[in-house]
Amino acid sequence: MKKILGMMLVLCMLCSTGLAEGVRIVAHGQGQVTTEPDLFMVTANVSSRAPTAAAAQQQVAASVHRIQEELEKTGLAPSDVVTTGYDCTPAYETEGERMVPSGYEANHVLSITCYDLELMDQVITIATSDEGTTLYGITFDTSLRRELYKQALALAMSAAEEKAGALSTAAGCTDYTILEVEEKEGYYYDNAVTAKEEAAGLAVSTGIRSGSINVSASVTLTCLAQ
């Protein structure tokens, strides 16, 4: 009889200990805030070939200076038009089955940032006005990214806490304590392009139009449910 009572006492203590320790649960939450872009970035490569390296560099420099001056006339600041790459290398062309030297090629890569979407066609027209210029691409963004991310993060936390509460209830517990929070940032642009009917000023109509910007956040909560 004493042995039976002793075993029952041990079992009660184990159950009590397990209840005190609680149940470990993990909950994920996501939040997203949508806005319209208020800036765009263009990357353009200004290139020139000439018999000598010096001549190629001079030609590229002249083209870049002209582009910079024209862009500043639209209201862009000098800091909005910056160099992100530069090289001057020997150039070659094909003669039959051979590659023969044909002078030098200089490349000057410009990164252009504009905070007025209405100037997009004009900026692209200026950036590609030189025959040797190649446009690498255009990217849209928002200057409010940090503030919007905070809002998305708050939504993600709220969603994760709601899930943690539901899991806690499903586990037969009445409350939970957050032990750890893991943040996973996410930020992306939803591509949507619509045609423009009229050109802006003397600019060529590109037909490029932005979609929405989605700023998202994700968190993982590790909790102790009791």
Tokens of 59: 């030609």
Torsion of CA 201, 135, 192, 34, to 10 degrees: -90
The pLDDT tens digits for 208-217 are 878 888 999 9
In sequence order, the 6+-apart residues with CB closer than 8 A to the CB of 78 are 68, 72
Look at strands 98-114 and 81-95 and give their pairing.
antiparallel
Q: Are 210 and 36 in contact (CB under 8 A)?
A: yes
Per-residue pLDDT tens digits of the chain, which is 226 residues long: 444 333 333 333 333 344 457 899 999 999 999 999 999 999 999 999 999 999 999 999 999 999 999 999 999 999 999 999 999 999 998 888 888 888 999 999 999 999 999 999 999 999 998 888 998 888 999 999 999 999 999 999 999 999 999 999 999 999 999 999 999 865 554 543 333 333 333 455 777 878 888 999 999 999 999 9
The full set of domains in the chain, from first to last, is 21-36+145-225 (3.30.110.170), 39-141 (3.30.70.2970)
- pLDDT the model gives residue 208: 80
| Amino acid found at 4 | I
